[in-house]
Chains A and B, each alone.
Chain A
Amino acid sequence: MKIECQTDNASHRKTFVLDGELDVHQAKTLKATVMEALEQDDVWTYVIDMARVGYIDSSGLGMLVYLKKEILRNQGRLLIEKPTDAVLNVFRLTKLNEFFELG
């Protein structure tokens, strides 16, 4: 999975554009990338752009839940943007569409 990071310093907003499949193997890559940013930044809004994620499983979901909790602990905000139908289906099945802020 590729992860591209776009930083908007003016609005304290960092966007991670994911491209690939978010499973148990790739979830660790996402965790390392986001946690590294979280350790460097103060209070920011983090956006995970999922327009090019055609597949997610419970390990990927678990990682998103973990990251949201960590970001909230740092007084930040997590937005999940442009989830595909496949990702939305799994969010709805697990009620995570109510847990995440979707855009």
Chain B
Amino acid sequence: MPGSGEPDVKHVIAAAPDKTTLVDLELSGNPRCLALVRRLLEASAHSLPLDNSLLNDIKIAVTEACTNVIKHAFRYDPNRRFGVSLRISPSRYQINVVYEDAGFNPAAIPLPDLNNIREGGLGVYIIRNIMDDVVYSTDPPTGTVTLSMVKLLKPTSATGGQM
């Protein structure tokens, strides 16, 4: 609001080139941080062409990605740290999740059997189904894994949440 001292977030996002990282977070292996990340994603939506179902898709994908890091790579160790960065423009919403997991092989992630449902194994399936682009890249010498997820906001935003 003019004169209120609030930054004009909409203007900042509109002016940012597509690859600009607007938010860079360092998170711990404590799952309590996940709700905080969702509040941040909700706040970012106020200035974007992001309806509720699309925002919910992004919230689920980011939470699934962070949960996998905390649960499988870190085994709930609160002393370990990983990064989440948001690159937001009016046309695309990109989230990168960066962490260390020397033994990780994205090709080894099994597909869930939806006709014989089990308690686990749905996270990556959900991410791949709700985001427009999902790429895992690994750097074997350092053991760094980068999960890059993109949701296109235009012109495909009308299909968000249609499952």
Q: Is the CB of B114 within 8 A of A24?
A: no
Cβ proximity bits B106-129 to A, threshold 8 Å, 1 near / 0 not: 000000101101111011011001
Q: Is the CB of B34 within 8 A of A23?
A: yes
Tell me if A18 is interfacial: C-beta within 8 Å of chain B: no
Cβ proximity bits B125-147 to A, threshold 8 Å, 1 near / 0 not: 11001100000000000000000
A57, B58: Cα distance in complex, Å: 11
Q: Is the CB of B126 within 8 A of A58?
A: yes
Q: Is the CB of A25 within 8 A of B122?
A: no
| Among candidates A55, A63, A95, residue contacting B56 with C-beta atoms closer than 8 Å | A55
Cβ proximity bits A20-34 to B, threshold 8 Å, 1 near / 0 not: 010111000000000
Max chain B C-beta neighbours (<10 A), residue from A25, A57, A59, A96:
A57
Q: Is the CB of B126 within 8 A of A55?
A: no
| Among candidates A21, A65, A93, residue contacting B119 with C-beta atoms closer than 8 Å | A65
Given contacts A61-B122, A66-B119, A94-B126, contact A55 B59 (CB under 8 A): yes
Q: Identify the 4 closest CB pairs spanning chains A and B, nearest first.
A: A58-B122, A62-B119, A25-B31, A95-B114
B residues with a Cβ closer than 8 A to A are 31-32, 34-35, 38, 52-53, 56, 59-60, 63-64, 67, 70-71, 112, 114-115, 117-120, 122-123, 125-126, 129-130, 161, 163
Between-chain CB contacts (< 8 Å), 23 pairs:
A23-B63, A23-B67, A24-B34, A55-B59, A55-B60, A57-B67, A57-B123, A57-B126, A58-B67, A58-B122, A61-B122, A62-B122, A65-B118, A65-B119, A86-B56, A89-B53, A89-B163, A92-B163, A93-B130, A93-B163, A94-B114, A94-B125, A96-B117
